[in-house]
Structure 1
Amino acid sequence: MSSTLQVLLFLSLPFILALLILKSSFSSTKSNKNLPPSPPKLPLIGNLHQLGSSPHRALQAMAQTYGPLMLIHLGTVPVLVASSVDAAKEIMKTHDLIFSSRPHLNIPDKLFYACKDIAFSKYGEYWRQVKSIAVLHLLSNKRVQSYQHVRDDEMTTMMEKIRRANGSAVNLSELFISLTNNVVCRVALGKAYEGRKFKNLLDRFMELLGCFSVGSYIPSLRWVDRLSGLERKADKVAKEFDEFLEVVLDEHVNKNDTCVESRDLVDILLEFQRDNDKGFRLERDMIKALIVDIFSAGTDTTFTSLEWATCELLRHPRAMKQLKKEVNEIGQGRPMITEDDLDKMPYLKAVFKEGLRLHTPLPLLVPRESTEDIKLHGYDIQSGTQVLINAWAIARDPSVWEEPEEFRPDRFLNSPIDYKGFHFELLPFGAGRRGCPGIQFAMVVNELVLANLVYKFDLALVGEEGMDMSETNGITVHKKCPIVVSATPCS
């Protein structure tokens, strides 16, 4: 974002003097509304220059000065930032309906077929229909359980790759990415799509989702996105993904296999399209948008959560020892930990809760937008205000968490706090109407893989430099350097 902001600062200089001169003449018409506290802003770019490469960290620091509910300006767009449990609860529960829409963002608009997906579509009847389809037909408990054989297959394949390494260096991050990608591909499309070309397409897709689009926040400068090549890159990736999905859809339409047990998500969506007589027509682009949603959410955040949890265990031998003790007691020498065993493992679940607390996959969640004027904590919030929930800052709030920077899974052993959207201290998947509907799909993969990894192998970091905890930039915060370990089979 920094190079783009340098360009914007340069472009804004001619406007600054004129705007400062005009400021006094308009001061008498200043609104009487009681707006939330705001940091000083620059003309044209607002507070964009203050976000840096890690917006969640910058906003946390600003909140310490301006409070847990503050109003910033990203370009010409007013943005309400919530950084406390109470503020998040007001937005995502008390006034959830008013804050359930999404702002228009140029890059998601290109990648998700004019936002015909679930995550980025505006709140309304269309969103309700596609969310219902996903919850009832794609992500229900029964449907998630029906793909157990896929998870078992891919997990077994990964364990075999580690075993064949025979104690030499293993890149766990690569294996996690491959496993989650294969699971999502097989569940969604019916078969795995490995290979460098497909992986590169997914990487470019996720990178674009995390890019800053000038035109989304300063519409008059949308040409900057064209000049920088951002729009061209987004168009190219969208075209490549569309061509890939067209082939997939044609294969499914023309295939002869009608076995119910072998149906994947594309089959289910096409069946819904054919058989639905309730007045809602599921068009081809809608199907593709839903599949893209499942890829972007199902692959990226899943392996990220697994990677950070494993990383923290390697940094904290006592926690690793405690988890190994639990899985050994449950496994009792059997070849594998099964999905039926997972609910008997409170420490495993505590490890993931603590990992998600310290390393919230989407630190600012997906932006929301208010649809009405509303009073919030005594402040006037105008309709059309964009809203960011700093879930990362809330999860490290010292008024909520004891020793918030420390990895302590034990804190969850006697705590009712969970990540499913009912406890606003922990919001890795959001909450309310716009909470992630795929929590169970993601977490059963994570728990199964980590339980078996610890059950089957003793892991040790390769090298003497320790664990690099650097983060990448983007909508999802990944670990910058891969986890490389030696894995010795447990006797």
Structure 2
Amino acid sequence: MGPAPHKTLAAMVPTYGPLIHLRLGSVHMNIASSAAVAAQFLKTHDANFSSRPHFLGIEHGAYNYEDLVFAPYGPKWKLLRKISAVHLFSNKALEDFRHVREEEVAVLTRALTRSGSDPVNLAPLLNVCTTNAIARAVLGKRVFNDGDGAAGQESSDFKEMVVEMMVLGGTFNIGDFIPSLKSLDLQGIIARSKKVLKRFDAFLSKILEDHKISGSDGEKHTDFLSLLIKMKDEANTEGVQLTDTNIKALLLNLFTAGTDTSSSTVEWALTELMRHPKLLVKAQQELDTVVGKNRLVSELDIAQLPFFQAIIKETFRLHPSTPLSVPRMASEDCEINGYIITKASSLLVNVYAIGRDPSVWPEPLEFKPERFLPGSEQAHIDVKGNDFDLIPFGAGRRICAGMNLGVRMVTFATATLIHAFDWVLPDGQMVEKLNMDEAYGLTLQRASPLVVHPRPRLAPEVYGAY
């Protein structure tokens, strides 16, 4: 499949069509590469494809399916999904924590202002911002630094763990497809998965124990983790008993799927705008008109920024954070496009290929936000699983639980950065030659980090004390 299986599979579509069956060892793998075929799997037959196949890397690297992302479809998954949807990702919860996101992005802005004449590697700073924003909602406190926005050794180690887990999650492990080779761990994936989970478990166990201790001392907590601990201590919750492992596994999902996906998408958006300076200027003019130059953007401003919203949609189309969906598995035989999909066979949706389908998207390889502007043919398309032409978060029952948070965080952070700064490459580099290669994993990182000079463009007092 090569180093970029999403591209390899997309290249097969003109020859073999949008529904491809591959026999990978003992596994029957079905790949959906068009909106129409994806809709049959994720809408018409959604219930039949609501569970996950078992993979060794996930078994040893994600608490043996005790989490939300990889858990089999059933009562415990439904409970974890419901708790997250109501208390963390609902519109009310997102609005309650809007001030947290705005404060952490302001911290990032101040950190960038302090860079002076030195070029900045944007990825670590974005990761600190998104991680602290999630941590304050989930834990009631930051996990990195004390509000200075800097990327220290602890945050660098954390990002390294997240990237390692995402790479392992997206690696085709031969032991998953040829069971007789499973115990040999020929690629070392099981060993690496155990190692990274051990590091994550130490990080999460300390968070959990510190929270329990501070709670037992009479300190009042109203955050998401406190709710989980309270529910665990209850005798039974909707017929399901939560455990410490479930809680750590859910925290693992939030701190992996919820951090690097958002920060890498912001990085891709800024990269595309730097490569298209006319679009960047147009977006800045829109922001200046709506927001002015005497304050930072607020999330409440986003609704008045149609061109900027189009930029974010176009970024999700060209650079989906998860190019191949997390695999699903058929619970029973069913028929798709006249073909029988057998029970226990796996499904991958090639989100990358769907977003670049030339029958849907004119000039599919070009970054053209205007395709989403009001009055255009594709203006109605959103990213929330209703329009299968654009499904960066998936669709159906197993759609990304944190989709609404992800959209808000990516949109708001990107808007703030392009409003607050002009972006200049280090001496000797040209935007026309920016490296646009992808580093494949469960999420789609930039192969080389975006290193830039941020130049403040707003009134000096906007950036606060630094």
Q: 1:301 aligns with which of 230, 252, 261?
A: 261
Deviation at 1:258, TM superposition (A): 6.7
Deviation at 1:268, TM superposition (A): 2.0
Structure-1 residue corresponding to 2:351: 391
Which SS does the other structure have where 1:98 is aligned? helix
Residues paired across the two proteins, number: 439
Q: Which is bigger in relative contact order (C-alpha 8 A, separation at least 6)?
A: 2
CA contact (8 A) 1:368 1:386 kept: yes
Q: Deviations over 1:22-59 (max 9, x none)?
A: xxxxxxxxxxxxxxxxxxxxxxxxxxxxx111111111
Partners in 2 of 1:181 and 1:388 — Cα distance?
28
Structure-2 residue corresponding to 1:74: 24
1:135 and 2:85 are equivalent in the alignment: yes
**Cα 1:128–1:278, aligned 2, differ >3 Å: closer, same or farther?**
closer
Which SS does the other structure have where 1:156 is aligned? helix
The RMSD of aligned alpha carbons is 1.8
Structure-1 residue corresponding to 2:10: 60
Task: Answer with 1 or 2: which has the greater Rg.
Answer: 1
Partners in 2 of 1:193 and 1:300 — Cα distance?
15
Structure-2 residue corresponding to 1:455: 419
Which SS does the other structure have where 1:295 is aligned? helix
CA contact (8 A) 1:167 1:488 kept: no
CA contact (8 A) 1:419 1:429 kept: yes
Q: TM-score, normalised by structure 1?
A: 0.86
Structure-2 residue corresponding to 1:469: 436
CA contact (8 A) 1:214 1:224 kept: no
**Cα 1:237–1:173, aligned 2, differ >3 Å: closer, same or farther?**
closer
CA contact (8 A) 1:429 1:436 kept: yes
Q: 1:365 aligns with which of 314, 322, 325?
A: 325
Which amino acid is the alignment partner of residue 340 of structure 1? L
What aligned pairs does 1:328-477 form with structure 2 within 5 A after superposition? 328-414=288-374, 415-462=379-426, 463-466=428-431, 467-477=434-444
**Cα 1:167–1:327, aligned 2, differ >3 Å: closer, same or farther?**
farther
| Percentage of identical aligned residues | 38
Partners in 2 of 1:229 and 1:88 — Cα distance?
33
Which amino acid is the alignment partner of residue 464 of structure 1? Q
CA contact (8 A) 2:75 2:240 kept: no
Deviation at 1:133, TM superposition (A): 1.4
Which SS does the other structure have where 2:85 is aligned? helix
1:168 and 2:133 are equivalent in the alignment: no
Partners in 2 of 1:386 and 1:210 — Cα distance?
15
Which SS does the other structure have where 2:445 is aligned? coil
Q: Deviations over 1:271-293 (max 9, x none)?
A: 22235653322111111111111
Which SS does the other structure have where 2:286 is aligned? helix
Moved more, 280-289 or 165-174: 165-174
Q: 2:232 aligns with which of 273, 277, 289?
A: 273
Which amino acid is the alignment partner of residue 139 of structure 2? L
Partners in 2 of 1:208 and 1:324 — Cα distance?
38
What aligned pairs does 1:19-58 form with structure 2 within 5 A after superposition? 51-58=1-8
Deviation at 1:408, TM superposition (A): 0.5
Q: 1:484 aligns with which of 451, 458, 461?
A: 451
Which amino acid is the alignment partner of residue 280 of structure 2? M
Deviation at 1:366, TM superposition (A): 0.5
Structure-2 residue corresponding to 1:231: 190
Partners in 1 of 2:219 and 2:183 — Cα distance?
51
**Cα 1:154–1:389, aligned 2, differ >3 Å: closer, same or farther?**
same
Deviation at 1:402, TM superposition (A): 0.8
Which SS does the other structure have where 1:211 is aligned? coil
Partners in 2 of 1:84 and 1:354 — Cα distance?
18
Deviation at 1:247, TM superposition (A): 1.7
Deviation at 1:179, TM superposition (A): 1.3
Alignment gaps of 5+ in structure 2: 145-153, 459-466
1:217 and 2:217 are equivalent in the alignment: no
Structure-2 residue corresponding to 1:44: none
Q: Deviations over 1:237-261 (max 9, x none)?
A: 222222222221111112148777x
Deviation at 1:263, TM superposition (A): 2.9
Structure-2 residue corresponding to 1:291: 251
Moved more, 73-82 or 425-434: 73-82
Which amino acid is the alignment partner of residue 281 of structure 2? K
Which amino acid is the alignment partner of residue 339 of structure 2? Y
